[in-house]
């Protein structure tokens, strides 16, 4: 302590920080008006937002949900003295069509049930820690059940398709005991293919003759709207993941011929736009099949979209495989695991985890790309919107219709990307 008079002997009470460095004012200064350039940007964007809201909010709040045509909407707006409002009549009149296309109205329960059950089937995959694992059996059975609910027809078709897997597995078990593992695998695959291509048709006909159990069939050309987009998206996504894994492994393989076949396939598919593959689906796929084959347009589109997605998926997974340290492969070898065991137990779980962001963005891309089917004449939401805009009652409608479609796509894809972030956090068990 000093005895000098000009030195303070007691501590001052701490004072509050100046109002400019705490609270909202500080925040605004720091985040909105830090420099003069920031200030200009802030003022410009605030002006843009306010201007947009002044335009958009009254437009959204327009009382035209009962409008029956664009002219009718304008009359309602004029009567309500509401200038420049949206014409929501088109949505209230056509939203069912936008969702289901021309699917028979009395059968709407079927797609609804199919998609609700799809959610149930996906739950154990998507939220494995919150849903009982027993549900996985339902997930495994659902791929056969889903198309049956949508297209209808005899129950024996999906059952015969499922039976192919059991037959293949049975042959594999028996043959691998008798002649060895690899021969068993080949025999099992051959048996399943023979069943699907040759025998199952007769079996289905015979069983349908004996026990005609089934629901009313619905033709593919009645499919449309978001139901069609989601169906194509889900099937292509589900089928492209395993195919993509196989292609990625093929591309990383030491077997030269397998490797080059995979590389050519992947590079070819990635080098051409999806629309050319859809042209193949709409005009050429029937020509590639045995004479007289005429299979369903949606099935053809599904095949081509799946091939397209699997090439992209393969590249994403290859990235994950390449990102794994070489020690992982060597450690798996050192443990004496064979190729498939090493892939299943060591490599794939890690590689897939690394590639989750890429896989989900491929999924989002595939779902968005389903809109391209409107170009080859399928009535997905965009195809329907063309039809609606060509209707004389709604001729000239733009914002309401496309805004509605864009909003629904946004909800789906945005929730997919949020899910991917959740999954990354959940699986982030790495050591950093």
Partner 1 sequence: MNRRHETRPECHGDFSVMTTLTDPPKEQFRLSMLLYDMRYRSATIQVIALMGFMLLAAWLINNTAQNLAALGKPIDFGFLSEPAGYDINQRLLDYNSQDSHLRAAFMGLLNTLVVAVLGCATATILGVIIGVLRLSHNWLVSRLMTIYVEAFRNVPVLLWIVFIMAILIETLPAPRAFRGDNPTAEMMLGDSVAVTNRGVYIPEVLFSNSLGDVHLFGNSPLRFDVSLDLVVILIVLGLGLWVSRLIKIRADRIQEATGDRPTTWYLRLGVVLVPLLVVLWWLGFHFGYPELKGFNFRGGTHLRNSLIALWLALSLYTAAFIAEIVRAGIMAIPKGQTEAAAALGLRPRRIMSLVILPQALRIIIPPLISNYLNLTKNSSLAIAVGYMDITGTLGGITMNQTGRELECVLLLMLVYLLISLSISAVMNWYNESVKLKER
Among 80, 206, 209, 270, binds partner 1 (CB under 8 A): 270
CB 94 within 8 A of CB 388: yes
Q: Which tokens is 398 given?
A: 């733009």
Helices (H), 272-380: 274-279, 285-288, 297-323, 326-334, 339-342, 348-354, 356-369
CB 317 within 8 A of CB 244: yes
Site string for partner 1, 23-62 (x = CB under 8 A): -------xxx-x---x--xx--xx-xx-------------
Among 78, 255, 345, 421, binds partner 1 (CB under 8 A): 255
| Interacting span for partner 1 (CB under 8 A) from 16-24, 117-125, 295-303, 404-412 | 404-412
Please report the sign of the dihedral spanned by the C-alpha atoms of residue 159, residue 164, residue 168, residue 171. Answer: positive
Q: If we measure between CA atoms, which residue out of 395, 60, 387 comes closest to residue 225?
A: 387
- Count of C-beta atoms within a 10 Å radius of residue 243: 16
- Tokens 């733009």, located at residue: 398
Among 109, 169, 295, 414, binds partner 1 (CB under 8 A): 414
* Positions in 338-377 near partner 1 (CB under 8 A): 364, 368-372, 374-375
C-alpha torsion 136→142→143→145, nearest 10 = 170
Residue 429 phi/psi, 5° resolution? -105, 10
C-alpha torsion 137→139→143→148, nearest 10 = 80
Count each helix (H run) and each strand (E run) in the chain, helices first: 20, 2
Question: CB under 8 Å to 337, separation ≥6 — which residues?
Answer: 345, 346
Residue 90 CA to residue 399 CA, distance in Å, equals: 11
Site string for partner 1, 280-319 (x = CB under 8 A): x--xx-xxxxxx----------------------------
Q: Which of 71, 143 has the CB closer to partner 1?
A: 71
Q: Which of 80, 193 has the CB closer to partner 1?
A: 193
405 forms part of the interface with partner 1 (CB under 8 A): yes
* Positions in 179-218 near partner 1 (CB under 8 A): 180, 182-183, 186
Q: Which of 109, 410 has the CB closer to partner 1?
A: 410
Among 188, 385, 388, 423, binds partner 1 (CB under 8 A): 385
- Provide the minimum distance between the beta carbon of 342 and partner 1 in the complex, in angstroms, as a whole number: 15
Residue 405 CA to residue 403 CA, distance in Å, equals: 6
- Provide the minimum distance between the beta carbon of 60 and partner 1 in the complex, in angstroms, as a whole number: 16
Q: Which of 7, 256 has the CB closer to partner 1?
A: 256
Among 389, 391, 393, 419, binds partner 1 (CB under 8 A): 389
The HSE-up count of residue 334 (CA atoms within 13 Å, CB side) is 6
Q: Which of 93, 315 has the CB closer to partner 1?
A: 315
Residues lying near partner 1 in the complex (CB under 8 A) are found at: 30-32, 34, 38, 41-42, 45-46, 48-49, 180, 182-183, 186, 254-258, 261, 268, 270-276, 279-280, 283-284, 286-291, 364, 368-372, 374-375, 382, 385-386, 389, 396, 398-399, 402, 405-406, 409-410, 413-414, 417
């Amino acid at each position: 302590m000093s005895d000098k008079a000009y030195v303070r002997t007691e501590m001052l009470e701490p004072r509050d920080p100046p109002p400019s460095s705490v609270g909202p004012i500080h925040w605004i200064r720091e985040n909105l008006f830090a420099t003069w350039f920031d200030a200009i940007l802030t003022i410009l964007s605030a002006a843009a937002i306010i201007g947009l809201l002044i335009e958009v909010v009254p437009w959204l709040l327009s009382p035209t949900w009962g409008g029956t045509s664009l002219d009718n909407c304008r009359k309602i707006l004029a009567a309500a003295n509401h200038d420049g409002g949206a014409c929501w009549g088109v949505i209230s009149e056509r939203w069912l069509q936008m969702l289901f296309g021309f699917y028979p109205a009395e059968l709407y329960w079927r797609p609804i049930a199919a998609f609700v059950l799809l959610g149930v089937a996906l739950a154990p995959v998507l939220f494995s820690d919150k849903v009982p694992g027993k549900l996985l059996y339902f997930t495994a059975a659902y791929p056969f059940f889903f198309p049956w609910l949508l297209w209808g027809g005899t129950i024996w078709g999906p059952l015969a398709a499922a039976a192919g897997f059991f037959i293949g597995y049975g042959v594999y078990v028996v043959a691998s005991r008798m002649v060895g593992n690899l021969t068993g695998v080949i025999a099992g695959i051959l048996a399943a293919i023979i069943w699907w291509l040759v025998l199952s048709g007769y079996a289905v006909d015979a069983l349908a003759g004996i026990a005609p159990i089934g629901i009313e069939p619905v033709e593919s050309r009645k499919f449309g709207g978001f139901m069609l987009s989601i169906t194509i998206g889900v099937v292509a996504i589900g089928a492209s993941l395993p195919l993509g894994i196989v292609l990625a492994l093929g591309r990383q393989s030491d077997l030269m011929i397998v490797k080059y076949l995979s590389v050519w396939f992947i590079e070819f598919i990635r080098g051409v736009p999806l629309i050319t593959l859809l042209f193949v689906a709409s005009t050429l796929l029937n020509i590639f099949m045995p004479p007289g084959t005429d299979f369903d347009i949606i099935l053809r589109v599904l095949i081509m979209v799946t091939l397209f997605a699997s090439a992209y998926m393969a590249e994403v997974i290859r990235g994950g495989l390449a990102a794994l340290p070489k020690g992982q492969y060597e450690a798996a070898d050192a443990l004496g695991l064979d190729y498939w065991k090493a892939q299943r137990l060591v490599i794939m779980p890690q590689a897939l985890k690394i590639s989750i962001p890429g896989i989900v963005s491929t999924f989002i891309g595939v779902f968005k790309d389903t809109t391209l089917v409107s170009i080859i004449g399928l009535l997905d939401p965009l195809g329907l919107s063309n039809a609606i805009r060509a209707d004389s009652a709604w001729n000239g409608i733009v914002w309401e219709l496309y805004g509605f479609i864009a909003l629904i796509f946004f909800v789906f894809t945005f929730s997919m990307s949020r899910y991917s972030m959740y999954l990354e956090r959940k699986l982030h068990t790495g050591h950093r």
